[in-house]
Structures are given as structure tokens and as C-alpha cells.
């Protein structure tokens, strides 16, 4: 028996999320390439309710990767997250959280 469109979209979403964390916009864009809006919306809603998709968590993780792992500055982090569709308020909170761990000044010192 063939899988329903919802099951196919859900499987694709889990495959994408197993490769790396994604923002809601990133996942929505990828799912909408192969699935209709209603199916995509349904899968996104299910993933958010189950805790698999959360822009705040994604933004904090990505900001930490960029700030601590790559020693990027706040503007570079903001630009990266904006490109991934994360809202400015969520970005500001993520940057604030990561800067408690490693300030931008300390990152510059490490770079030099």
C-alpha cells in the first residue's frame, strides 16, 4: 500500500531534520517543493507540537555554532539567522544567550 501524502511529507521532514537542525522556514520551504500547502502546514504543526521544530532552540544552537565554533560576530550571526527565516526577537535572544558564554570581545581576542 502506498503511503499517504501526509506520511510522505512527514518522512521527508524527519530525513531533513536528521541531517541537521532547521528553522521552520527552511523546513517549510523544502517540504513545499514536493507537497501542497495543507500537507506542509499539517506536518510543520505536528513537528512543532512534538518539539522537533522550534525556532528558538534552532537559533540558540546555530548562534552557538557560529559564535563559539567559528568565532563569528553578532552581525554575522544575525545575518545567518535572518537568511534562515528566524525572527529578529528570537535572534536577539539567541545572541544574548551565546554572549553570556563567550562575549564578542573575547571572540575577537581568540581570533587575534
pLDDT digits (tens, 9 = 90+) for 10-47: 999 999 999 999 999 999 999 999 999 999 999 999 99
Tell me the per-residue pLDDT of 38-90, one tens digit each, with 9 for 90 and over. Answer: 999 999 999 999 999 999 999 999 999 999 999 999 999 999 999 999 999 99
Question: What 3 state SS string does 34-102 have?
Answer: HCCHHHHHHHHHHHHHHCCCCHHHHHHHHHHHHHHHCCCCHHHHHHHHHHCCCCHHHHHHHHHHHHHHC
Amino acid at each position: 500500500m502506498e503511503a499517504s501524502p501526509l506520511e510522505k511529507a512527514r518522512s521527508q521532514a524527519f530525513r531533513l531534520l536528521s541531517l541537521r537542525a532547521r528553522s521552520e522556514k527552511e523546513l517549510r520551504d523544502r517540504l513545499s517543493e514536493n507537497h501542497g500547502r495543507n500537507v506542509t502546514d499539517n506536518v510543520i504543526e505536528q513537528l512543532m507540537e512534538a518539539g522537533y521544530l522550534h525556532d528558538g532552540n534552532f537559533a540558540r544552537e546555530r548562534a552557538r555554532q557560529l559564535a563559539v565554533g567559528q568565532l563569528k560576530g553578532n552581525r554575522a550571526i544575525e545575518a545567518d539567522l535572518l537568511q534562515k527565516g528566524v525572527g529578529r526577537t528570537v535572534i536577539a535572544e539567541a545572541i544574548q544567550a551565546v554572549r553570556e558564554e563567550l562575549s564578542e570581545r573575547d571572540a575577537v581576542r581568540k581570533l587575534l
